Amino acid sequence: MFSIARKNPAARLSCAAPIRSLCVILSFAVLAGNVFAQESISSHAGTVTPLSDLLAEAEKNNPQVEAARQGWQAGKQVPSQVSTLPDPQFTLQHLSVGSPRPFAGYTNSDFAYIGFGVTQDIPYPGKLKLRGEIAKREADVSQQQVESVRRSVLADVKTVYFQLAYLAKTLTILESNGDLLKQIEQAADARYRSGMGTQQDVLQAQLQETKLVREIAMHHRDVGKLEAQLKQFLNRPQDSPDIEPADLTESPLLQNYQELLAAAKAQNPELAASQKTIDKQSLQVNLARKDFYPDFNVQYMWQRTDPTQFRAYYMLSFGVSVPIHRSRKQKPELAQAQAEELRARSEHEAQSQQVASELRSQYVVVQQTAELLKIHREGLSPQARSEFQAGLAAYQSNKQDFQAVLTAFLDVLHLDEEYWQNVAEYETAIARLEQITGLALR
């Protein structure tokens, strides 16, 4: 990438003693630039990985998504558990007469018997169904949380990917601007040799060249951090090969804000989860009201004495739990359920406002950044380059001072970096819109 290998200009200067050590330092800095340049070339020599492949890999392998998915699968098993009747109880009875010995009096007393029975508790009609519906709504909330986690992870993957693409692009910018800086240094050296320039101009050019080397090193540091984050999202080993991003491109946004908002209201998992929570709490209120009603108990018993002398007994019992003291418990339970329902509705309203606000914020970012990119393409970047080329020519003709040329160069460098940073921010905002709306916008 950025190569600044050349003969050390400082060696051609007639350096005074105080300056000679600085010249040596700059020489080492230039050599270090070659090392970083080779690293940059090797790190970007791999095969480009499309973003779509990484998204599919993250959706399949990310542990957060898998954990949320397993939580949903577990929640789906609850409705059938809570909506099933309690297990029946089977009873074996034995009554002896005249002695505690088993079967004492069995053949000579119609009070002695052996009996078999079954007992079944029956909740008030509708209670079990309501419990099943409440558990089903809870599972629906977990399902929406799976989608929420999935979208969040995919948005994070996109964000890191775009940042890596931005850093790769800025390394290319540093290479091209290194060539421009070399022109400045050569012009300063030529003027210094002819006696029309100063040694300070040459040294300033070399200093700026060293700053570019430093910026390359900082970019490598940032790339390493982002690669670690991306591998974490993909659940890859940290010592696996680094990921090479594709070039940044500006994806046009064809939908207006109202279309995006309608999609968010229909497909946003956070909104869907909060609505399911309202439904669950409404059912919880109904269940709290039904808990005021009694539950039932049915028991059937068969009793047998000596079949040669006595007839068998058949007994059916029906019990009712009378809610005499239950109101002390159920009234607070009903009040709690009603308060939870009101809270769920307020949280849904707050979530709706948050989604609309975030959607509007990202939409504004996309619209305004698109305008900034147009200004860069059609105005700032070509104007800055034209100013630099004109200033360099004027400096070579001794009609311009060195500081003006250096300032023009820095304008070119910073505007180029700013342009691609804006592209990365634009694409990141598009990714957030996709996360909020569930639409494929690129």
Residues near 227 by beta carbon (within 8 Å), at least 6 away in sequence: 164, 242, 243
- DSSP H helices in 44-62: 51-61
Residue 247 has which token pair? 């070039």
Kindly provide the residue ranges of all beta strands, DSSP E only, lying in 7-124, ordered along the sequence. Answer: 89-95, 113-122
Bridge partners (DSSP) listed for residue 267: none
- The per-residue DSSP string of 117-157 comes to EEEEEEPPTTHHHHHHHHHHHHHHHHHHHHHHHHHHHHHHH
168: closest CA among 46, 285, 71? Answer: 46
Cβ(215)–Cβ(174) below 8 Å: yes
- Res 284: pLDDT: 94
What is the reported pLDDT for 209?
Answer: 79
pLDDT attached to residue 46? 58
Residues counted in the chain: 442
Run of H or E including 392:
helix 381-396
Q: Are 169 and 427 in contact (CB under 8 A)?
A: no
296 forms beta bridges with 122, 320
Q: Which domains does the chain have, with CATH numbers?
A: 52-85+123-291+326-437 (1.20.1600.10)
Residue 229, pLDDT score: 95
Rg over alpha carbons for the chain, rounded to the nearest Å, is 39
CB 191 within 8 A of CB 199: no
Reference 421, options 55, 164, 231; nearest CA is 164
Integer Cα distance of 193 and 173 in angstroms: 30
Confidence at residue 226, expressed as pLDDT on a 0 to 100 scale = 95
Angle at 215 between CA 209 and CA 221, to 5 degrees: 150
Q: How many CB atoms lie within 10 A of CB 296?
A: 14
Q: What is the pLDDT along the chain (442 residues), one digit of tens a residue?
A: 333 333 333 333 333 333 333 333 333 333 334 433 444 434 444 589 999 999 999 999 999 999 999 999 999 999 999 999 999 999 998 888 888 888 888 788 888 888 999 999 999 999 999 999 999 999 999 999 999 999 999 999 999 999 999 999 988 888 777 777 777 777 777 777 777 767 777 787 778 778 888 888 888 899 999 999 999 999 999 999 999 999 999 999 999 999 999 999 999 999 999 999 999 999 999 999 998 888 999 999 998 888 888 888 899 999 998 877 766 788 889 999 999 999 999 999 999 999 999 999 999 999 999 999 999 989 988 888 888 888 878 877 777 777 887 788 888 888 888 999 999 999 999 999 999 999 999 8
Give residue 326's pLDDT.
Answer: 67
- Torsions phi, psi for 413 (to 5 deg): -60, -50
